[in-house]
Amino acid sequence: MTMPEAERERIRQYLVEQAGSKSIEELIARVEDGMQQLAAAARSIPAERFEEHPAGDEWCPMDCLAHVVSWNAWTATAVLHAALTGEVPAGEPPELARDRDALLKEQERSNASLYEHVRAADPGAFLDVRWEHPFFGMLNWREWLLFLRLHALDHARQLAGMREALGA
């Protein structure tokens, strides 16, 4: 993915400013809105078309959904650990079943755990603990939490484009 530096900085500033100024409940509401849009976009593509590649696209809808849910699950685990312990666990995103409904259920399960844990965390604790995002630099757990919204929305748009390209 390529992104102009000015766009990267604009998004980074959004993450920093919003994550620092909103309550945990407000951040969760924003993340959940993005997740609902992601789920709606995934469900808008017929299940029997989920493995089809739109013309000129290296990913099919299943590739897109598996990517976003896997990375969101790993990020959610890192966020909740950082928020509660000040440590970011090592690891990689999990390999998940390539089934639309199972992926959406995993996203819901992962989010429920994340929301429960960040609600229990001190909202000002461990904000000095940061880890690298490949486009937006070093982010703390609150910024990563809000990033989940952007990640979900970005891939919801991608899925909507795939639906159109497939004529679904």
Provide mean pLDDT across the span 56-72.
96
pLDDT for 34 equals: 98
Start-to-end CA span in the chain (Å): 26
Rounded CA-CA distance 77/37 in Å is: 21
Q: Does residue 159 sit in helix, strand or coil?
A: helix
DSSP, res 47: G
What pLDDT score was predicted for residue 79? 97
Q: Walk me through the domains of the chain, giving residue ranges and CATH numbers.
A: 5-166 (1.20.120.450)
pLDDT score, position 84: 97
Residues 6+ apart with CB under 8 A from 106: 69, 73, 96, 97
Dihedral through CA 110, CA 115, CA 117, CA 121, nearest 10?
150
Region 70-78: mean pLDDT is 96
Task: Report the range of poorest mean pLDDT among 34-38, 53-57, 67-71.
Answer: 53-57
pLDDT of 80 reads 95
Q: What is the pLDDT of residues 79-133, one digit of tens each?
A: 999 999 999 999 889 899 999 999 999 999 999 999 999 999 999 999 999 999 9
Q: What is the mean pLDDT of residues 13-36?
A: 98
pLDDT value for 1: 59
Average pLDDT, the chain: 95
Q: 16-19 long-range contacts, Cβ below 8 Å, gap at least 24?
A: 16/143, 18/146, 19/140, 19/142, 19/143, 19/145, 19/146
Query: What was the pLDDT predicted at 4?
Result: 86
